[in-house]
Each structure stands twice: as C-alpha cells, then as structure tokens.
Amino acid sequence: MPQFEHSGLSFYYVEVGSGMPFIFLHGLGGSIEQIVKIYSPLQGIRMITFDQRAHGKTPMGEKSHLGFKTFANDVLALYDHLHLEYGIIGGISMGAGVALKFALTHPDKVVALILSRPAWLDKPMEQKNKAIYNCIKELIEKHGTQTGRELFLVSDVYKDLYKTSPGNARSFLVHFDYEHAAVTAAKYQVLPEDTPTYSRDEWKKIKVPTLVLANHSDHVHPYEYGLEYASLIGLATLKEITSKTVNEMQHNKDVQQNIDTFIKSVLNKTENGTKHNSKTY
C-alpha cells in the first residue's frame, strides 16, 4: 500500500480508477476498508482514500494534534503529495466533518462536496454520543479490547443504544476489533470534543455543488443534521438513504447510487466547458 510522509507520520492511502480526483474520507474508528467497501468509483473518477491519523495503518502521533483542523491539513498534504490542483471531496461521519473543514479552508481546491451522515454541526458532539465514545475509550484502556468488548455489550450505554438503533449499536463493536485500539483510544475522547466549524454561517460560504446523505434511523447521525446542512449550503441537495439498521446492503446501494448520480452531474458540468474558477459553475 502506498504512503506519504507528513508531520512525522506515514499515511497509508489507495487510489482506484483515473480521471477527476475524488477524495473520500472514512469515519471515526474507520479506515480505508470502510470506503472501498461502500463505494466503487465511476469511469472517469480517480477515487483516493487514506487512513487518517490514529486510524487503520496510520499512527496517531501527538494526542494534541488530533482534531479537524489537523485532519484537514493532512488532506492538504495528500493533495500536495499527489500534485492535485482540485477535486471532489467527501466523507462519512467524521470524514464528512474533515471534508467540510477542508472545503472551507481550501475552497480553491474543491469542485464539489459530499457529506454522508454528518455527526457534527457547529459545536462538539452531543453529550449522549460523546458518552458512547468515552465508554469505549475507558473500557479499552482499562480492560483491553477483548474484555472491553464483553463489558461494552452488557453496559447500559450499549443496551440503551440498541433499543433505539440496533445497527448503530452493532457498528460500535468494530472499535474493539482494531489492532491498534489500545494506543489510539484517545481519539474517542478528543475528537467528539472538537468541531469542524464554530458557526453555521460559515457553511453559507460554500459555493460548490454539495450532496448531503442522511436517514431517519440513525442515533449518531440524525436526519435533522442533514436538513440543517442542506438548508444553509446554497447548492446543497439532501438525499435520504436507507439506514443500516433497516438494511445494510440497501444502505450501501443507496450510497453508491446517490454519489454516482451526483458525480455524473458534476462531471457533465465540467465536460460542457464550465471552467474551474474558484468553484463557480
């Protein structure tokens, strides 16, 4: 797997296809595998994804560097490594927050934005969700991954979540399967306390086509978050996708179909002679 060096760390990445760059970012506790499992690029698209710091094969580095600003700078380093002038950028959950941060700080490098199941607005994660991640962190640090997983399954935190969103509850178990969980557990405390932006007014500055994906059965990624982004980003389109709790296979199909349709629209605009000019179409 190729890698690039930045900030004293080796970041692992993959590329699939060729054409317009599409940088697609995984969520908190995810990795490259999360992205390649859920999306296969269209012809004419060069999809690029990488293990963000403290995820997958990429080390954590300094705990104080964990945060959306640093993660967005890591994306810029990837752009520089691959000599990318601009591209489509998107992400899932935490990845959506990183993509948003990058689009706001480097608008000249973004032709379109995809926010799949955003989990943050303009403040730290809601307390009920922070409590889940804090529980995972403490269990891993105190008991290790195997015993920690067993204790999580019988915890009130897990049981309460399972009652309202079984799919969400099961998805948290993957955090106990990560081989470097013990040395990167701090991310489950630090990142929920951070935020991609501090004011929703910032979102109004985004002038590129934006796709927002959300569903009504997701405890951690409320549909209302998708509505809020779609209402404030001028060129945003909100699409409802099937919840993993209802049907994970259909969820993946919905993600694929909606992103494909959106990207085709973006490509059509560029093919029709619209010049990339500070992302005005």
- The 10s digit of each residue's pLDDT in 35-84 is 999 999 999 999 999 999 999 999 999 999 999 999 999 999 999 999 99
Q: What's the CA gap between 245 and 169, in Å, rounded?
A: 9
The per-residue pLDDT for range 112-129, each reduced to its tens digit, is 999 999 999 999 999 999
The answer to whether residue 275 scores a pLDDT higher than 70 is no
Q: State how far the Cα of 58 lies from the Cα of 124, in Å rounded to an integer.
A: 24
Q: Which residues pair with 24 in a beta bridge?
A: 90
What confidence tens digit (pLDDT) does each residue in 151-175 have? 999 999 999 988 888 878 888 999 9
Q: Is 90 left (phi over 0), alpha (psi -120 to 50) or beta?
A: beta
Question: In whole angstroms, what is the distance from residue 214 CA to residue 117 CA?
Answer: 5
Rounded distance, CA 24 to CA 187, Å? Answer: 20
CB burial of residue 268 (10 Å; 0-12, 13-18, 19+): exposed
Q: What pLDDT, in 10s, does the model give residues 223-260?
A: 999 999 999 999 999 999 998 878 889 999 999 999 99
